[in-house]
Amino acid sequence: MNKILKLGLGLIAGAAVAHVAYHGYKDLEEALDAEMLSEIRRRFSQGEIQALWLYDEPDETGDFRAGLVLDGQTKYLSINPKSLVITEKGEQL
């Protein structure tokens, strides 16, 4: 009985640690996304942004791909999450 109780408490403690770690990571990820989107909005604030998107996963270089529709034109971007340097990848009408 004592071993079962210890095993149960160990499982609960492990689940609690996993829960805290997962939500801590998600909060950090959401803050990074918000910071990158804010930087894109600031850089292109001279025009009317009609749509803005950011892909969930970084590419092989660690940069995130993004895009926006600015004054009727679609622009494709790459943003470095550490330095927040934005590189325009292309444009389409």
pLDDT value for 41: 93
Q: Where are the domains of the chain?
A: 2-92
Along the 93 residues of the chain, how does pLDDT read in single tens digits? 788 888 989 999 999 999 999 999 999 999 999 999 999 999 998 989 999 999 989 889 999 999 999 988 999 999 999 999 999 988 765
| Distance (Å, whole) CA 41 – CA 36 | 9
pLDDT value for 92: 67
pLDDT value for 56: 87
- Asked if 78 and 63 count as a contact pair (C-beta separation under 8 A), the reply is yes
SS3 66: strand
